Structure 1
């Protein structure tokens, strides 16, 4: 009677024998491949199958490298764009006055001793958000008392006048746009030199009020700051005339203007330094000082002459 175990329980070669066989086979293949290059074809055939697997394994690393290079490039481009925008804004104070200077040269080129215009300077500020009041045209910038911003400083962009600083906080400041109902800017028509005042309407437009019906104003006329208020430097573009209504039933003409600057959609502005007070001539300053002294003396004498109540 056969007592052999079933095939399932039959044991093959010993593990040590199998290990020795595969080690010898590997060494033989290495020697043959190094000497005769016989396995090059096999290696190339295997690489056709392993290459997609390698690419798939390298995808996470490639993705991280591409992502880092993408963000680095994007940050570099944003930095370069911000620098270019900042440079353009810093030069806006000079570029915006070209039209006004050209028109003024026609009238002043024959005059001598004309005082040179004062150079303006300022600092770039970022628009953070709009004011919460829906009926006001005001924005908040990221410059405040720590940046030596004071109320009254004019604000421009790379095109024209934007508004004026009205409230200052430690780290931010409130800018009232020229389209606000409470804002008024003394202006001058570049074509004719006529002076007036542009008032904000609160709806994104401005209006020239109290202008006679026969005023020499046309659609498309450019309005620049006249500088008569002592706040806005002269020659900065403010608005363009877009609608004129000369109805004889009214005393004055109705003149609507559109702001030149991107008042309602901008991100960076320049807060100009405040204009220094005008220095009076020596003779006029002495006359004003003497008048002030005389006025104070008269007021002191009047106080002494007043009867005292018992």
Structure 2
């Protein structure tokens, strides 16, 4: 007779199998990324389908909105447009001036070439992970590490991309860190998430660092991940305890992370070169031409000096005294005359003991010829006397 309840697999075997599978999945985690992306691309239509009720609700709310609500909304939008237009005009002037100064200093100009508005399709339900899913993927050009901002500040960065969707890790997540600087004094720090959607913190900041409540934190541009100058958070509290090595600094993100609906994907500009204004180009060309002319004049002066030095050296080599082995006349050398001959110009070696009045000679043969021609008038005088 068979028992009613058949004994199944033992609990020890189940535990062992679970441990083995867990270790295998941990070891092959990085190799499963293509599979995850493929599954995400396959499940993207389901995400769009799940988002249809929210889209229909928004459309219904807009369709049944009263006239008074639309008028008030229109007036508010018009007011915001005027305010933003005035700020944009001032910012445009500041931007042009900043570009001119950066061009004069030779500093690279940071610009954004492309921006795309994306809609939030899904919010993470995991309490330990804070991310959202956007309706743009690799077809739009979204890449891992791309910065994401909204109308108030930085939201986070893309950590996973599929064909039609992408996942954005928000700045409040515990695993997220972003380099920031204080606009008041350019103090740099790292802002890390705390797990609280309304709070981030600056870790490992010295107690003597000049940071106070109310300081605005913006992206510093370090790490080449977030462009420089985007607002991140505002400092809400600073605590300096003598018993702690570092100050405890808390800040509140400026982006509305708990109610974001539309965000902005940013592509940094890496191909479009910056063009200098015409007046700056003309000024730089004049300076280059003047420097080239000055360099040519300096080169000519150096060449003239070298030529003069070479000529002087040649003359000096010609005027150097020469030793006459044949007993020829010598003018410059100063040596001892063993024969005690009379010398009128300078003492020289003369075996024959003859008087020397002729200039210095380099060639012994030429010198002898010169001496012969010089001695002819003396011979003729002797003949006349006879």
Fold in common (TM above 0.5) = yes
Contact 1:141 1:174 in 2 (8 A): yes
Shift of 1:114: 3.9
CA distance in 2, matches of 1:242, 1:73: 38
1:214 counterpart = 2:214: no
CA distance in 1, matches of 2:169, 2:223: 16
**TM-score, structure 1 length as denominator?**
0.55
Shift of 1:274: 4.6
1:262 counterpart = 2:231: no
Q: 1:118 to 1:253 in 2, by over 3 A?
A: same
Alpha carbon RMSD of aligned pairs, Å?
3.8
Shift of 1:113: 3.6
The aligned counterpart of 1:155 is 148
Shift of 1:222: 0.2
Contact 1:239 1:257 in 2 (8 A): yes
1:198 counterpart = 2:191: yes
Q: Secondary structure at the match of 1:121?
A: strand
| Partner residue of 2:266 out of 268, 272, 276 | 272
The aligned counterpart of 2:382 is none
Shift of 1:116: 2.8
The aligned counterpart of 1:138 is 131
Shift of 1:276: 3.7
Matches within 5 A, 1:212-291: 212-274=206-268, 276=270
Question: 1:102-159: CA deviations, max 9, x gaps?
Answer: 9x97xx79x7444333234310000112123221110111111221211110000011
Contact 1:154 1:271 in 2 (8 A): yes
Q: Secondary structure at the match of 1:196?
A: strand
Shift of 1:168: 0.9
Shift of 1:172: 1.0
The aligned counterpart of 1:125 is 118
Q: Which moved more, 1:267-276 or 1:248-257?
A: 267-276
Contact 2:112 2:268 in 1 (8 A): no
- Matched residues, number: 197
CA distance in 2, matches of 1:209, 1:120: 33
Shift of 1:245: 0.7
Which one has more relative contact order, counting CA pairs under 8 Å at least 6 apart? 1
> Tell me, which stretches of 5 or more residues in structure 2 are unaligned?
1-61, 274-386
CA distance in 2, matches of 1:156, 1:248: 37
1:168 counterpart = 2:161: yes
CA distance in 2, matches of 1:191, 1:246: 20
CA distance in 1, matches of 2:224, 2:269: 7
Contact 1:154 1:274 in 2 (8 A): no
1:189 counterpart = 2:182: yes
Contact 1:230 1:275 in 2 (8 A): no
Say which one has the larger Rg. 2
Contact 1:241 1:257 in 2 (8 A): yes
Matches within 5 A, 1:25-64: none
> Tell me, which stretches of 5 or more residues in structure 1 are unaligned?
1-69, 280-310
CA distance in 2, matches of 1:274, 1:112: 22
